[in-house]
Amino acid sequence: MSIWNYVVTAHKPTNVTHSCVGNFTSPQELNLIIAKCTRIEIHLLTPQGLQPMLDVPIYGRIATLELFRSHGEAQDFLFIATERYKFCVLQWDPETSELVTRAMGDVSDRIGRPTDNGQIGIIDPDCRLIGLHLYDGLFKVIPFDNKGQLKEAFNIRLEELQVLDIKFLYGCTRPTIVVLYQDNKDARHVKTYEVSLKDKDFVEGPWSQNNLDNGADLLIPVPLPLCGVIIVGEETIVYCSATAFKAIPIRPSITRAYGRVDADGSRYLLGDHAGLLHLLVITHEKEKVTGLKIELLGETSIASTISYLDNAFVYIGSSYGDSQLIKLNLQPDAKGSYVEVLERYVNLGPIVDFCVVDLERQGQGQVVTCSGAYKDGSLRIVRNGIGINEQASVELQGIKGMWSLRSSTDDLYDTFLVVSFISETRILAMNLEDELEETEIEGFDSQVQTLFSHDAVYNQLVQVTSSSVRLVSSISRELRNEWKAPSGYSVNVATANATQVLLATGGGHLVYLEIGDGVLSEVKHAQLEYEISCLDINPIGEDPNYSQLAVVGMWTDISVQIFSLPDLNLITKEHLGGEIIPRSVLLCSFEGLSYLLCALGDGHLLSFILNLGTGELTDRKKVSLGTQPIILRTFSSKNTTHVFAASDRPTVIYSSNKKLLYSNVNLKEVSHMCPFNSAAFPDSLAIAKEGELTIGTIDDIQKLHIRSITLGEHARRICHQEQTRTFAICSLKYNQASAEESEMHFVRLLDDQTFDCISTYPLDTFECGCSILSCSFSDDSNVYYCVGTAYVLPEENEPTKGRILVFAVEDGKLQLIAEKETKGAVYSLNAFNGKLLAAINQKIQLYKWMLRDDGTRELQSECGHHGHILALYVQTRGDFIVVGDLMKSISLLIYKHEEGAIEERARDYNANWMSAVEILDDDIYLGAENNFNLFTVRKNSEGATDEERARLEVVGEYHLGEFVNRFQHGSLVMRLPDSDVGQIPTVIFGTVNGVIGVIASLPHEQYLFLEKLQSNLRKVIKGVGGLSHEHWRSFYNEKKTVDARNFLDGDLIESFLDLSRARMDDISKAMGVSVEELCKRVEELTRLH
Amino acid sequence: MGSILGGWPSYDPHNFSQLRPSDPSNPSSITPTTYHPTHNRTLPPPGQDISTESKNILIRHFYKHAEEKLRPKRAASELLAPENGSKQPRASTSNAPS
């Protein structure tokens, strides 16, 4: 790999951190707005449910998200503050459907200790000010003036240093906050303050309450007319105001989220750490609170946010499991639950670990993640591209073409499958047993190759061969009419629809026929300049049976020409450029737009937008799909038309938001495809590949496919073993049923096809699995699973004891072969020179696999290396060992065979707290750290002095904005050795927010080109809320902020393809590169993920 | 229990009335169109790029106290002029170490 890296998101964040409901997009519309860390999603509430409107990238990690209504406004505004101390107020402009920035700003202070308990951002219910608690001991106020404009912010000193929550109280003449805090004796209290805008200071508030529940953590302000605040603890819930104090005990639980139900604040939904949903009710009489009541409603995913939507529907946003749309029923179900889950929304977060495997052995990587936490833990199988689910297949060599035919015009289903070979044509049909068997259509010529076949009107079928066009009854199957090619001419290419036939013979002759009831009439003939290579008359106009346009691809001048029908007048001629002839042309229509697709002999595809009225071609784009000639065919799936491009790299072309998208099909090579919608195999495709004919259905048309395997427990480490076709995971199960909460840890063995758990090894009490590895040792041909553990005792700060367990899989069972006690937690295990390399607390330790006299095996310590705070992440390459330390960044060690010793070779002297490391190549190592940055360091072998050689030089820095838990070499897409993209090495990463990303190492030339494109895109694509892209991507930690270098933001670069043509032209001009070339180069990058 | 579970608020009774529940074992992963603003209104109108007042909170505190001290003492200053004067240099020395 190289130091020039391209970072791109394959799967966007799905961890829902915030949500709110209001009239954002119009005064009448109700919206749900969701924050997924670095993105917000705007949804519309409709009779059909939640309708997604927009996905908005935010150049920051969202710390707070609030909707508010300014005085005299009919619509809500959105307040967003980011973790890097930027904020913005957004407004929706319904006329342009754009997000407009009303205000923005920087609320950072030069001095201040960032709060430990997260940032707080709140808006006064009477819209007098925005309050922010970002640094200990400071409360920042951004006042509104009486026109709703924001004024200069100022700080107020806040005496309480350990703040747990702050909210504004309702119904106060002066803006009043209530502060929940902990004192230095760990007791918790609430206190109120009035904010005096004139004096820029606090005035002692109307009331306070001391000595609350020790677990009090959440404040819920109660609106008018009741006012006051609810304080939610772990064992009690308290209502507090200047005049009232009511408390109720609750079953011990940690409340993670709340959602207000009624506008008057009399009911709230509370979600706890176990995913239980409660309803909290304030009982009141004459606007006086008389008590609190709490009822268990049922179970959901563990909620991080709860938003009451409308009509008893509630959105549950989750960080640990899938988010949900639920309904609150009046009557309990059989299990006593009032909660009905109606919709689940995928969340891969937190991705704690993952592995890349090729389960189907097709050369296509799949990512299997350990996702979710606690009871919502799961495995997710994430796969790129579209799968074909095989229903039936037969061996058939040398297929030259395939077409499906119906037995009558009105038939819903296809009956016949015409399969053409070099010197014969065979007809397959479904028999009564729903089996495919060979049959005959008497009127067809089966002794020759079929060039084209199609259903025709009046229960007829058309067969075009090199010598004639045959019109056959689909009922009697007898020949009704025949058009013969003039002697001396043979038909080279042909196409047809229900009423028309267009064919070309040698010498550039184009012949147009129309189909009647038993009649084939030659309507027009034209002679073109050159030979014709391909043609199409797919009807995409108003009449589904008749096309008014014909498109023809030409040899020699390498052009496509559009003719009007029936008179064959040339309307448009487009030179394709280059020397590769068009091999397949297709007229098609997606989402109301008409397109001309033209596939070349070298695997490239040109697309144009076609004006059906004038035949004009615009918006030319070129992409590379494969390396071999492509054959284009339409098919439909779920009532939508798509295009299948058969080639060495089969692809489905589809449209989303009026943009053409290309998705890989998970098959190696497809020579021909035709839709085959039979009664037995509805909505299927017939696919010719590698001497085989397959009938199969196609997956949903989308880029990434995710399969969920729910575990009900938290998987923390995963590893695949090819030889035994199993996965092994380290997992833990929380036992919440008993009074004392306890955890149990396991090593589990799963079948890699069914994902069933086939064997379990329970770990000791307090013992948890920290690392897992599949490996083999020198002088032993067996493969083993090695598991590193730690005994996590409540009284110890760091584990002082652990184990390495070596398992073999025998008869589908985990058999413990050897175990070795260690003096600490085994954070990492690596196969190393036929031995086992373990990271144990501060130490790197190498173990030999020794044969004892009695024939059993044991791990024997060989050598080690001290000198880390905690060696958490280890990668190896040859004799080199790269260590990611808890707080001392990356160091490089080397194993010396002769001396049998491990020595430090070099280190990065920065104080980075690592979260993952990977070796990109011999000299360059990649790290991720806990301030959400990525960086690369380089070994300096040529350094002049020892000091220089001992220093790992930082060569790349980038703010990813995501917490990376794992890197793995590999790819989500099938890699073609002969394509450009196939040469680019990639690393996949998984993050806490559920992001799966790809880091690709680019050649220097390509890097420079894309860097230029990125800087031009920055000028065109603006940051939402005025946030700066350059600032967002700058490397940032407590000590420094420096511009990103040697990393490019692929998400920004690939958004080039979403731009309007005019904007693309702007960038094309600035770059001095054609739009077509830019599109092609960016499109290629999208194929990395 | 019935009493507290009924009467869920309704903004538009039609919302969710035609919802067709999806297969709960197959979570949906539809992401809407991604927004890429290219207009000029991503920057706020004049005066709405907010920053924090540059005056440090401690300095502000000093000034405020100085003002508060000055006001009542102006009346008393005629009587206690010498004492008042002796305070000023002490205030300046206490600033010196910083």
pLDDT of residue A1049: 98
Least reliable range by pLDDT among A380-394, A916-930, B77-91: B77-91
CA distance B42 to chain A (A): 5
**Chain B interface includes A295 (CB < 8 A):** yes
pLDDT of residue A979: 57
If contacts are CB pairs under 8 Å, which of residues 1058-1087 in chain A contact chain B? 1058-1060, 1063
- Closest residue in chain A to residue B48, using alpha carbons only: A103
pLDDT of B79 above 70: no
Q: How far apart are CA A957 and CA A963, in angstroms?
A: 15
Q: Which long-range contacts (CB under 8 A, 24 or more apart) does A390-394 make?
A: A390/A694, A390/A695, A390/A696, A391/A681, A391/A684, A391/A695, A391/A696, A391/A697, A392/A436, A392/A681, A392/A694, A392/A695, A393/A692, A393/A693, A393/A694, A393/A695, A394/A436, A394/A692, A394/A693
**Chain B interface includes A993 (CB < 8 A):** no
CB atoms A295 and B5 under 8 Å? yes
- Placement of tokens 């194929």 in the chain: A1087
Task: Mutation target for B interface from A58, A99, A100: give the one with most B CBs within 10 A.
Answer: A100
pLDDT of residue B12: 95
Q: How far apart are CA A303 and CA A839, in angstroms?
A: 35
Start-end of H helices in A728-792: none
Q: Band of the pLDDT at B27, cuts 50, 70, 90?
A: confident
pLDDT of residue B88: 47
**Chain B interface includes A65 (CB < 8 A):** no
- Per-residue HEC secondary structure of A497-549 comes to CCCEEEEEECCCEEEEEEEECCEEEEEEEEECCCCEEEEECCCCCCCCCCCCE
If contacts are CB pairs under 8 Å, which of residues 45-64 in chain A contact chain B? 45-49, 52-57
Query: How many residues are given for chain A?
Result: 1089
pLDDT of residue B3: 65
CB atoms A279 and B33 under 8 Å? no
Q: How far apart are CA A565 and CA A536, in angstroms?
A: 12
CB atoms B9 and A105 under 8 Å? no
Closest in A12, A312, A1022 to B31, CB measured: A12
Q: How far is CA A764 from CA A233, A790, A791, in A?
A: 33, 10, 8
Encoded tokens for A717: 């480490």
pLDDT of A572 above 70: yes
CA distance B60 to chain A (A): 9
In B, which residues are within 8 Å of A105 by CB distance?
Answer: 49-51
For residue range A609-660, list pLDDT tens digits in order.
Answer: 999 999 999 989 888 888 889 999 999 887 889 999 999 889 999 988 788 8
- Closest residue in chain A to residue B46, using alpha carbons only: A103
Closest in B11, B27, B51 to A105, CB measured: B51
For residue range A383-434, list pLDDT tens digits in order.
Answer: 888 888 888 888 999 999 999 999 998 888 999 999 999 999 999 998 777 7
pLDDT of A361 above 80: no
Q: Band of the pLDDT at B71, cuts 50, 70, 90?
A: low
For residue range A532-558, list pLDDT tens digits in order.
Answer: 999 999 999 899 999 999 999 999 999
Encoded tokens for B59: 């300095």
CA distance A954 to chain B (A): 33
CB atoms B32 and A1055 under 8 Å? no
Closest in A293, A311, A1060 to B15, CB measured: A311
For residue range A988-1020, list pLDDT tens digits in order.
Answer: 999 999 999 999 999 999 999 999 999 999 999
pLDDT of residue A471: 97
pLDDT of A301 above 60: yes
Q: Which of A427, A429, A442, A517 lies closest to A477 in space, CA to CA?
A: A442
pLDDT of A573 above 90: yes
Q: Band of the pLDDT at A382, cuts 50, 70, 90?
A: very high
Q: How far is CA A98 from CA A24, A279, B4, B36, in A?
A: 12, 37, 41, 10
CB atoms A262 and B9 under 8 Å? yes
Least reliable range by pLDDT among A433-437, A837-841, B85-89: B85-89
Q: How far apart are CA A785 and CA A106, in angstroms?
A: 51
Q: How far apart are CA A210 and CA B7, in angstroms?
A: 36
- Placement of tokens 């990611």 in the chain: A884
pLDDT of residue B80: 47
pLDDT of A239 above 70: yes
Least reliable range by pLDDT among A262-266, A479-483, A1073-1077, B4-8: B4-8
Q: Band of the pLDDT at A697, cuts 50, 70, 90?
A: confident
DSSP A324-366: EEEEE-SS--TTS--EEEEEEE----S--EEEEE-TT-SS--E
CB atoms A310 and B10 under 8 Å? yes
pLDDT of residue B54: 87
Report the amino acid identity of residue B90: R
- Closest residue in chain A to residue B60, using alpha carbons only: A200
For residue range A952-976, list pLDDT tens digits in order.
Answer: 999 999 999 999 999 999 988 866 5
pLDDT of A924 above 50: yes
Pair A508, A527: CB distance under 8 Å: yes
CB atoms A153 and B18 under 8 Å? no
Closest in B10, B15, B47 to A47, CB measured: B15
Which residues, in sequence order, are bridge partners of residue A924? A938
CA distance A333 to chain B (A): 14
pLDDT of residue B86: 45
Closest in A14, A53, A295 to B1, CB measured: A295
pLDDT of residue A637: 83
Task: Return the number of CB contacts < 8 Å for A and B.
Answer: 204
If contacts are CB pairs under 8 Å, which of residues 677-706 in chain A contact chain B? 702, 704, 706
In A, which residues are within 8 Å of B60 by CB distance?
Answer: 154, 200
Closest in B25, B34, B44 to A104, CB measured: B44
Closest in B18, B29, B39 to A98, CB measured: B39
DSSP A914-963: EEEEEE-SSSEEEEEETTSEEEEEE--TT-SSHHHHTBPEEEEEEE--S-
Q: What percent of chain A clears pLDDT 70, i.e. is strictly above it?
A: 98
**Chain B interface includes A76 (CB < 8 A):** no
For residue range A1046-1087, list pLDDT tens digits in order.
Answer: 999 999 999 999 999 899 999 999 999 999 899 989 988 988
In A, which residues are within 8 Å of B63 by CB distance?
Answer: none
pLDDT of residue A968: 96
In A, which residues are within 8 Å of B59 by CB distance?
Answer: none
Q: Between residues A362 and A428, which one has the greater pLDDT? A: A428
Q: How far apart are CA A32 and CA A44, in angstroms?
A: 6
Pair A43, A53: CB distance under 8 Å: yes
- Closest residue in chain B to residue A313, using alpha carbons only: B16
Q: How far is CA A526 from CA A194, A421, A538, in A?
A: 88, 29, 20
For residue range A725-779, list pLDDT tens digits in order.
Answer: 999 999 999 876 655 668 899 999 999 989 999 999 999 999 999 999 999 999 8
Q: What percent of chain B clears pLDDT 70, i.e. is strictly above it?
A: 66
In B, which residues are within 8 Å of A42 by CB distance?
Answer: 32
Encoded tokens for A210: 């001391």
**Chain B interface includes A308 (CB < 8 A):** yes
Q: Which of A466, A456, A570, A452 lies closest to A521 in space, CA to CA?
A: A456
In B, which residues are within 8 Å of A309 by CB distance?
Answer: 15-16
pLDDT of residue A977: 53
Which residues, in sequence order, are bridge partners of residue A389? A697
CB atoms A138 and B45 under 8 Å? no
Q: Between residues A147 and A1051, which one has the greater pLDDT? A: A1051
- Closest residue in chain A to residue B1, using alpha carbons only: A295
- Closest residue in chain B to residue A151, using alpha carbons only: B50
**Chain B interface includes A382 (CB < 8 A):** no
**Chain B interface includes A296 (CB < 8 A):** no
Burial bucket for residue A792 (CB in 10 Å: 0-12, 13-18, 19+):
middle
pLDDT of residue B84: 46
**Chain B interface includes A336 (CB < 8 A):** no
> A1014: part of which helix (H) or strand (E)?
helix A1004-1020
CB atoms A100 and B43 under 8 Å? no
For chain A, give the mean pLDDT: 94
If contacts are CB pairs under 8 Å, which of residues 248-277 in chain A contact chain B? 261-263, 267
Q: How far apart are CA A238 and CA A213, in angstroms?
A: 9
pLDDT of residue B93: 44
pLDDT of residue A128: 95
**Strand, coil or helix: A93:** strand
Mean pLDDT of A879-902: 96
In A, which residues are within 8 Å of B13 by CB distance?
Answer: 311
Pairing of strands A162-168, A176-182: antiparallel
Least reliable range by pLDDT among A168-172, A241-245, A847-851, A971-975: A971-975
CB atoms A1055 and B34 under 8 Å? yes
Helices (H) and strands (E) in chain B, counts: 3, 1
